[in-house]
């Protein structure tokens, strides 16, 4: 099928590359010329295993990147994959969605063939029907039934997105006209996964509810971990026993410094805002966020209880990305921790295998090192903030510290004499 994708961000670029691997002819529209130029040369603007190989394979063949919306004319489907960042009040900011919808309608104006507009961005329930469809139709200028709408949320995890695309647990398609549903389902031909069909609003809500539930599992594990720590019980032993209950599942029960990234904090906040705006009090969701915010400060409280006043102390921070296998630092739990260290006058010695550059944009004034060993040399204490598997190999490197105070926010180290935030 000939399809278009709007937005070469995380979701759009991965989706474009993967749909081209499935054999579709893909036109990716990205209005940032510099970004589009780099992608056109096969360079992904972020680290994602397998992505550049797909770009190199399909660019100049069945994947094209352009800055012009006009290129979508002639395609059968257009996916909206633009960002929905948090507004200052926590609600989802739909300005990019509105402008993409308007530009799509405008670009399709002269078209006489049926076209389906598919929302893939995470949007509050009702957005496809009451924001996207009217904006597209207003710019399109005709009500002849040629344009139909669908909502197809993504469940890709950063660092595993290509793998997730080809092996999803399910494909969700929200629709109002049958033809839109059939067209979107046909695009995934060849992928072995159940297709869940629903109304547009239910599909939008499935995405929010999924992310909120996963975030809740993490905050729940963290709360149990905090209690276990006081009682001298290992929360990882506990959760191994809990997770084997098939009703619960072992995944997302890893206690630690809490969840970060571009999705969970933003999506839970948007759901809280949405609930409150319609007169509901989302008690569980608020607690999920509260527990999460509190975990980062536990790292600091624990550190102070071990080495006293932090002013002038050298603190190594290992791990800056919001999780392993990515260079993404958005809403990383390392951010509030570094902020608190800086506020207390500590000297921060940071290292991440991929994310030093990204974190230097947020904290230009702290020290960055090219290896864990260098960051640890002479440090009074060490905080581990990301579950990078390579941190498990660290052993003698800790001998270079001035004093061996090691606090893990992620259960990853195998060395002796360390302490976990909640184990």
Residues annotated as catalytic (active site), given as ranges:
263
Q: Of the two residues 149 and 322, which places its CB atom closer to ligand UGA in the complex?
A: 322
Q: Is residue 232 a contact partner of residue 297, using CB atoms and an 8 Å limit?
A: no
Query: How near is the Cβ of 256 to ligand UGA at its closest, in Å?
Result: 5
Residue from 21, 25, 64, 158 that binds ligand UGA (CB under 6 A)? 158
* Residue 361 CB partners (closer than 8 Å, separation 6+): none
| CA dist., res. 103 & res. 175, Å (int) | 21
Query: How near is the Cβ of 39 to ligand UGA at its closest, in Å?
Result: 19
The side-by-side arrangement of strands in the sheet containing 63-66 is 63-66, 25-29, 2-6, 77-80, 115-119, 147-151, 171-175, 195-198
- Cβ count within 10 A of residue 222: 26
Residue from 273, 323, 411, 418 that binds ligand UGA (CB under 6 A)? 323
Q: Of the two residues 83 and 105, which places its CB atom closer to ligand UGA in the complex?
A: 83
Q: Is residue 123 a contact partner of residue 97, using CB atoms and an 8 Å limit?
A: yes
CA nearest 323: which of 313, 314, 334? 334
Q: φ and ψ at 29, to 5 degrees?
A: -105, 120
Q: Does 218 bind ligand UGA (CB under 6 A)?
A: yes
Q: Of the two residues 331 and 380, which places its CB atom closer to ligand UGA in the complex?
A: 331
The side-by-side arrangement of strands in the sheet containing 347-351 is 367-368, 347-351, 314-318, 381-384, 406-408, 419-420
Q: Of the two residues 7 and 105, which places its CB atom closer to ligand UGA in the complex?
A: 7
Q: Of the two residues 166 and 252, which places its CB atom closer to ligand UGA in the complex?
A: 252
Q: What's the start-to-end Cα distance of the chain, in Å?
A: 52
Residue from 252, 304, 344, 404 that binds ligand UGA (CB under 6 A)? 252
Task: Give me the 106-125 binding string for ligand UGA, x by CB under 6 A, dash otherwise.
Answer: ----------------x---
Residue from 35, 57, 157, 294 that binds ligand UGA (CB under 6 A)? 157
Query: How near is the Cβ of 179 to ligand UGA at its closest, in Å?
Result: 27
Residue from 21, 48, 64, 154 that binds ligand UGA (CB under 6 A)? 154
From the list 66-74, 173-181, 211-219, 365-373, the region that binds ligand UGA by CB under 6 A is 211-219
From the list 28-36, 65-73, 156-164, 303-311, the region that binds ligand UGA by CB under 6 A is 156-164
Query: How near is the Cβ of 115 to ligand UGA at its closest, in Å?
Result: 26
Query: How near is the Cβ of 298 to ligand UGA at its closest, in Å?
Result: 13
- Cβ count within 10 A of residue 378: 13
Q: Of the two residues 175 and 264, which places its CB atom closer to ligand UGA in the complex?
A: 264
Joined together, the tokens standing for residue 220 give 């729940």
CA nearest 410: which of 400, 399, 423, 401? 423
Q: Does 156 bind ligand UGA (CB under 6 A)?
A: yes
Q: Is residue 129 a contact partner of residue 149, using CB atoms and an 8 Å limit?
A: yes
Hey, which residues between 255 and 274 contact ligand UGA (CB under 6 A)?
256, 258-261, 263-264
Joined together, the tokens standing for residue 293 give 């915010």
Residue from 26, 44, 184, 214 that binds ligand UGA (CB under 6 A)? 214
The single residue listed with the structure tokens 């052993």 is: 395
Using CA atoms of 240, 241, 247, 250 in order, give the dihedral in degrees to the nearest 10: 10
Query: How near is the Cβ of 158 to ligand UGA at its closest, in Å?
Result: 3
- Cβ count within 10 A of residue 188: 17
Query: How near is the Cβ of 145 to ligand UGA at its closest, in Å?
Result: 32
Binding-site ranges for ligand UGA (CB under 6 A)? 122, 154-158, 211, 214, 218, 252-254, 256, 258-261, 263-264, 322-323, 387
């Amino acid at each position: 099928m000939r399809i278009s994708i709007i937005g070469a961000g995380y979701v759009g670029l991965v989706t474009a590359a993967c749909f081209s691997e499935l054999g579709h002819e893909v036109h990716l529209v990205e209005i940032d010329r510099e970004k589009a130029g780099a992608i056109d040369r096969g360079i992904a603007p972020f680290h994602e295993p397998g992505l550049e190989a797909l770009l190199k394979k399909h660019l100049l063949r069945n994947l094209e990147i352009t800055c012009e919306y006009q290129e979508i004319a002639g395609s059968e489907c257009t996916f909206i994959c633009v960002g929905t960042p948090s507004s200052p009040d926590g609600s989802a900011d739909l300005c990019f969605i509105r402008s993409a919808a308007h530009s799509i309608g405008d670009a399709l104006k002269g078209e006489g063939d049926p076209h389906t507009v598919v929302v893939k961005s995470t949007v509050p329930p009702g957005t496809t029907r009451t924001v996207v469809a009217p904006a597209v139709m207003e710019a399109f200028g005709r009500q002849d039934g040629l344009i139909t709408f669908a909502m197809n949320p993504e469940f890709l995890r950063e660092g595993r997105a290509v793998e997730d695309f080809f092996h999803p647990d399910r494909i969700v398609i929200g629709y109002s006209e049958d033809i839109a549903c059939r067209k979107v389902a046909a695009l995934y031909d060849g992928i072995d996964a159940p297709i869940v069909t629903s109304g547009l609003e239910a599909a939008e809500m499935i995405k929010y509810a999924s992310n909120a539930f996963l975030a809740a599992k993490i905050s729940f594990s963290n709360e149990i971990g905090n209690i276990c720590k006081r009682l001298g019980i290992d929360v990882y032993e506990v959760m191994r026993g809990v997770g084997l209950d098939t009703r619960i599942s072992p995944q997302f029960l890893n206690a630690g410094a809490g969840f970060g990234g571009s999705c969970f904090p933003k999506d839970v906040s948007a759901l809280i805002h949405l609930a409150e705006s319609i007169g509901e009090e989302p008690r569980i969701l608020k607690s999920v966020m509260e527990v999460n915010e509190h975990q980062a400060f536990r790292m600091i409280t624990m550190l102070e209880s071990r080495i006293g006043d932090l002013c002038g102390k050298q603190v190594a921070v290992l791990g800056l990305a919001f999780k392993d296998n990515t260079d993404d630092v958005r809403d990383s739990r390392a951010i509030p921790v570094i902020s608190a260290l800086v506020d207390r006058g500590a000297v921060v010695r940071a290292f991440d295998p991929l994310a030093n550059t990204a974190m230097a944009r947020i904290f230009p004034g702290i020290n960055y090192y090219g290896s864990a060993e260098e960051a640890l040399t002479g440090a009074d204490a060490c905080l581990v903030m990301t579950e990078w598997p390579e941190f498990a190999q660290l052993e003698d490197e800790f001998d270079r510290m001035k004093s061996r105070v090691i606090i893990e926010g992620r259960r990853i180290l195998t060395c002796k004499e360390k302490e976990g935030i909640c184990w």
